[in-house]
């Protein structure tokens, strides 16, 4: 992405989302639903890519942040709905609820991140995985959100424009951030933390920032998801969902925003095309991981020390 | 001349091993100072202490008059200490240009807000950074390879890029850890000229760890010698060459500091 053209790309993305949105009245509901799924997965994968790809941390808990955002946002709009907010204000209420979901998720991201950054890559993976499970179990027992039977009656606010507009913004934010002198610090942390520190990069600050921004967008994606499916079940946020997002990031090429967005599109559409085989989806993902591991002999979790100059 | 860097009885122990033991050192401002000693003597550990990678077990380090205790490497970089690494540590997947750009970020005022807004102030800032990187790379004849990935540079260029990257942090003190390792004689003599010109051009002090005795003796005004973590000698190159303790440390009769064995320790 060229520096000068970056904002124009964002505007183009938003305009395209708005324009296509006008035609959604004529499309098949199924296709519309799938296209929104695709956009939500783009938000998830591109934001996780900031953490796992660009910054080289290994989070396996992205779905936990998504769950936090989803529940926070849904509970807010349900409350607003009950309070009898006028129809005209619903876009504002929805936007505010998405932001609130994102902020809660970001705070959780900072809370998990700070104590974990002393850990080596694979341990961070285990901690974030555990965190995701804790979040899921929490919502399984959280009565105000329906506990194990799920949160019902979420208003159906997410449409094509909200979903794809958010996807465009997420891509813009991550790409614009990384494509700056400031943002090169994320990549430096990925390549060599010790060298980065010696060159004045506050490595902890960059990692916390990546976690905060990454989990913010995961939270927003959760809010979009909640108001798209109009029902949240804790079982929908198990760790296989996090793995799905990780596979999108790895398949898309770790730290390549465009590639990760394409991977998110493909890996959302593929299971839809193979609907009859949906039981085998996880086998497909596992195979993908095995193939990737064989082509990445330094190990799947070894992102920090991935490419190192032999000296 | 006032000392830019001072070590007072600096000691670090790793479990039972005392890697650096009660070392005193005063580095004059603008000096070309050598730090030598056999493999495992504690030279790299001394660098890690000075740059905040390790905190000393005992003793204190002062940089430009203020104690550095508790400061992290990135804070010491901001204070003006830069270094290279014995085992090259470039940002392997980044281009030559971006390797230097990371270091430029230290004194670049723009952060998240500017990167996202991308206004005219941001554009000007980025153009300014690019211009300064271009100037630095030209001095070191690396501008032609600015878009090459650091890990695919030839070895000697990687070593020089590490120096450029360190200079981009605008240091007052530059620590070079075996910069001539793996270089041929021609490259070594070019490196010596380069280090001399850096000192003048960038107005900084250089602390040099190097195994090539000829290079150290020719280049440095003053040399300290470590052996088993202890400073056993300090003086001018001539004094060091004649010092019996130094000759002993480098296995005495057969090997003078001019002709050291590759290592006298396993
Ligand atoms: N982090 C560490 N933990 C334990 N021992 C260390 C550590 N760093 C260095 N050492 C030991 O300290 C001694 C000095 O090492 P070093 O400073 O690398 O020597 P050199 O003079 O060759 O650069 C060695 O015996 C080394 O094994
Ligand atoms: Mg060493």
Q: Are B118 and A7 in contact (CB under 8 A)?
A: yes
B38 lines ligand 1 (CB under 6 A): no
Give B154's contacts in chain A (Cβ within 8 Å).
none
- Predicted pLDDT at B1: 62
A204 vs A306, residue with greater confidence: A204
Q: Does A120 touch chain B (CB under 8 A)?
A: no
The Cα A293–Cα A286 span in angstroms is 10
Q: Residue A195 is encoded by which pair of tokens?
A: 């060298």
Nearest to A200 among B77, B111, B126 (CB): B77
- Identify which ligand lies nearest to the alpha carbon of B39: 1
| Chain A nearest C-alpha distance from B71 (Å) | 12
Contact B126 A183 (CB under 8 A): no
pLDDT at residue A118 is higher than 80: no
Q: Residue A92 is encoded by which pair of tokens?
A: 């504002």
DSSP string covering B214-264, please?
HHHHHH-SEEEEEETTEEEEEE-HHHHHH-HHHHHHTTTTT--TTS--S-S
B45 lines ligand 1 (CB under 6 A): yes
Work out the number of other CB atoms within 10 angstroms of the CB of residue A12: 12
Phi, psi (degrees; rounded to nearest 5) at A81: -60, -45
| Nearest ligand 1 atom to alpha carbon B19 | 12
Which of B39, B42, B43 is the pocket-test mutation for ligand 1 (most atoms within 8 Å of CB)? B42
Residue A260 neighbours by CB under 8 Å, 6+ apart:
A45, A46, A49, A53, A248, A249, A252, A253
A157 vs A282, residue with greater confidence: A157
Q: Between residues 134 and 153 of chain B, which touch chain A (CB distance below 8 Å)? A: 150-151
Tens-place pLDDT, residues B11-30: 999 998 999 999 999 999 99
Q: Which residue has the tokens 């950074």?
A: B129
Contact A309 B158 (CB under 8 A): yes
B44 lines ligand 1 (CB under 6 A): yes
Q: Does B91 touch chain A (CB under 8 A)?
A: yes
pLDDT at residue A240 is higher than 50: yes
Among the listed residues A273, A285, A283, A268, the one whose alpha carbon sits nearest the alpha carbon of residue A225: A268
Using a pLDDT cut of 70, give the percent of chain B over it.
Answer: 94
Nearest CA in chain B to A200: B74
Nearest to A199 among B93, B106, B125 (CB): B106
Tens-place pLDDT, residues B91-113: 999 999 999 999 999 999 999 99
Q: Which residue has the tokens 């009898």?
A: A84
Give the number of residues written for chain B. 266
Tens-place pLDDT, residues A261-272: 888 888 888 877
Q: Between residues 179 and 238 of chain A, which touch chain B (CB distance below 8 Å)? A: 179-185, 187-188, 190-192, 194-203, 209
Tens-place pLDDT, residues A34-63: 899 999 999 999 999 999 999 999 889 999
Using a pLDDT cut of 70, give the percent of chain A over it.
Answer: 91
B19 lines ligand 1 (CB under 6 A): yes
The Cα A259–Cα B28 span in angstroms is 52
- Predicted pLDDT at A220: 98
The Cα B119–Cα B125 span in angstroms is 10
* Helix orientation angle between B120-139 and B155-167, rounded to the nearest 10 degrees: 130
Nearest CA in chain B to A169: B116
| Nearest ligand 1 atom to alpha carbon B39 | 22
DSSP string covering B49-95, please?
HHTTSS--SEEEEEETTEE-TT--HHHHHHHTEEE--SS----TTSB
Within its chain, how far is the Cα of A215 from the centroid? 7
Nearest CA residue ID for atom 27, ligand 1: B40
Q: Are A65 and A51 in contact (CB under 8 A)?
A: no
- Identify which ligand lies nearest to the alpha carbon of B35: 1
| Chain A nearest C-alpha distance from B41 (Å) | 20
B37 lines ligand 1 (CB under 6 A): yes
Strand order in the sheet with B3-14: B17-28, B3-14, B58-63, B66-67
Q: Are strands B32-36 and B222-227 parallel, antiparallel or unpaired?
A: parallel
Nearest CA residue ID for atom 9, ligand 1: B45
Give the confidence band of A308 by pLDDT, cuts at 50, 70, 90.
very low
The structure's pTM equals 0.90
Helices (DSSP H) in A83-202: which residue ranges? 90-116, 121-141, 160-178, 184-191, 193-198
- Domain ranges for chain A: 3-238
Q: Are A256 and A85 in contact (CB under 8 A)?
A: no
ipTM: 0.91
């Amino acid at each position: 992405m060229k520096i000068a053209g970056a904002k124009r790309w964002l505007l183009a993305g938003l305009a395209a989302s708005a324009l296509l949105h006008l035609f959604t009245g004529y499309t098949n509901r199924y296709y519309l639903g799938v296209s929104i799924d695709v956009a939500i997965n783009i938000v998830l994968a591109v934001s996780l890519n900031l953490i796992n790809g660009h910054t080289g941390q290994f989070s396996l808990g992205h779905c936990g942040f998504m769950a936090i955002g989803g529940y926070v946002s849904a509970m807010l709009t349900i409350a607003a709905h009950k309070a009898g907010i006028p129809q005209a204000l619903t876009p504002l209420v929805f936007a505010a609820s998405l932001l609130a979901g994102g902020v809660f998720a970001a705070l959780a991201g900072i809370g998990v991140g700070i104590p974990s950054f002393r850990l080596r890559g694979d341990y961070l993976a285990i901690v974030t995985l555990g965190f995701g499970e804790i979040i899921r179990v929490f919502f399984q027992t959280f009565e105000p959100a329906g506990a194990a039977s799920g949160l019902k009656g979420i208003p159906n606010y997410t449409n094509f424009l909200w979903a794809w507009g958010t996807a465009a913004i997420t891509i813009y934010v991550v790409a614009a951030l990384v494509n700056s002198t400031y943002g090169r610090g994320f990549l430096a942390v990925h390549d060599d933390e010790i060298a980065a520190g010696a060159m004045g990069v506050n490595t902890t600050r960059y990692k916390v920032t990546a976690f905060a921004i990454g989990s913010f967008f995961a939270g927003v994606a959760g809010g979009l998801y909640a108001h798209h499916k109009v029902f949240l079940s804790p079982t929908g946020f198990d760790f296989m969902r996090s793995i799905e997002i990780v596979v999108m990031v790895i398949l898309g090429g770790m730290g390549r925003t465009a590639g990760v967005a394409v991977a998110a599109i493909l890996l959302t559409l593929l299971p839809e095309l193979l609907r009859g085989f949906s039981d085998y989806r996880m086998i497909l993902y596992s195979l993908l991981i095995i193939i990737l591991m064989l082509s990445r002999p330094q190990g799947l979790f070894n992102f920090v020390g991935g490419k190192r100059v032999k000296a | 001349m006032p000392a830019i860097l001072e070590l007072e009885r600096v000691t670090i122990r790793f479990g039972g091993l005392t890697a650096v033991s009660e070392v005193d050192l005063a580095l004059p401002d603008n000096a070309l100072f050598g730090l030598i000693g056999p493999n495992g003597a504690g030279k790299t550990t001394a660098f890690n202490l000075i740059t905040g990678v390790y905190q000393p077990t005992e003793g204190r380090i002062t940089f430009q008059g203020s104690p550095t205790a508790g400061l992290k490497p990135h804070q010491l970089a901001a204070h003006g200490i830069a270094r290279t690494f014995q085992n090259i540590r470039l940002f392997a997947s980044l281009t030559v240009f971006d390797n230097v750009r990371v270091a430029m970020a230290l004194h670049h005022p723009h952060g998240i807000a500017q990167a996202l807004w991308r206004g005219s102030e941001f554009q000007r800032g980025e153009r300014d950074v690019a211009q300064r990187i271009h100037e630095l790379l030209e001095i070191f004849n690396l501008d032609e390879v600015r878009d090459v990935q650091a890990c695919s540079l030839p070895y000697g260029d990687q070593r020089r890029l590490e120096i450029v990257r360190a200079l981009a942090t605008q240091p007052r003190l530059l620590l070079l850890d075996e910069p001539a390792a793996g270089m041929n004689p021609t490259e070594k003599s070019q490196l010596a000229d380069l280090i001399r010109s850096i000192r003048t051009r960038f107005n900084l002090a250089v602390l040099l760890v190097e195994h090539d005795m000829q290079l150290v003796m020719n280049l440095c005004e003053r040399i300290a010698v470590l052996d088993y973590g202890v400073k056993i000698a300090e003086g001018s190159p001539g004094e060091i060459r004649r010092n019996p303790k130094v000759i002993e440390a480098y296995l005495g009769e057969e090997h003078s500091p001019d002709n050291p064995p590759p290592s006298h320790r396993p």
